[in-house]
Structure 1
């Protein structure tokens, strides 16, 4: 298990509550206890299929793509407040879930909410990682999603499910709609 205190760009003060920003499946399936949930807007990053998937939504021979937060734009999502006592366990869980391939960079970023800004743990795509595919453009990404099938299913189904879940939460992501139109 990775020790969260040794990870780069993570400086959570011990004994304090933790905010976590969710932009994908963490929004509807966080998998950890929280005491508060808010809608939030993260500026400077957008939700996109910018990570090659060689296992869950593709294979090494026919990769798919999964979500990441990529630089530029803005992203509507959810922030969850975790009580201080639960933070160590939640961090261990999040590192297992999000950091297995080290394709994300954990950061504390400002997220705007109607109740005020919070600084939240956020997992952003690492553009230097070999699995980063954020420079493929819309057609290249659409091609990956069309071909991708992995142990978690078809990549096309993942995109469709994501759009449906976002709609249920009242979040319209025009970039994902444009991507789906190319498939």
Structure 2
């Protein structure tokens, strides 16, 4: 017997065909940090590791139309997934021009809505988030982004501070057995 909370089996993974397009939805992936790659290389999974293509386009189905997700900063002003007001809100909020943070740990949804606006959450984060973003801890799920805000007062301020710190720090040599991912995810 197979039980499933949804009307179909497969959990987050499904294949959809619509309007002449075929795409996969929901496969989980992870960030290829050196600590994660060290664990994979040291296990029997080493030969099954598939690195994501950093140049592969990503799309979100919004308002009945597949829309490209910006892949680099120069795409931001021109993509049609968000309104001009949503883009401006996200930009100003990322700089730290927003209401103060609540005095408690935020969920992914709260953090993104607070720091980047509703449109960023609904159109760029929620479609890619496995699990319920209203219950998922931002600090636990996206610790690097959470730390940027904590350390720099804003996401952009934290990014500049992290770049500065990286330039001034000495890193130990990287394990030569680890693959060198060009992309941001492993599938």
TM-score interval, normalised by the smaller of the two chains: under 0.3
Give me the TM-score of the superposition, normalised by structure 1.
0.24
Give me the TM-score of the superposition, normalised by structure 2.
0.24
Larger Rg: 2
**Larger strand proportion of the pair:** 1
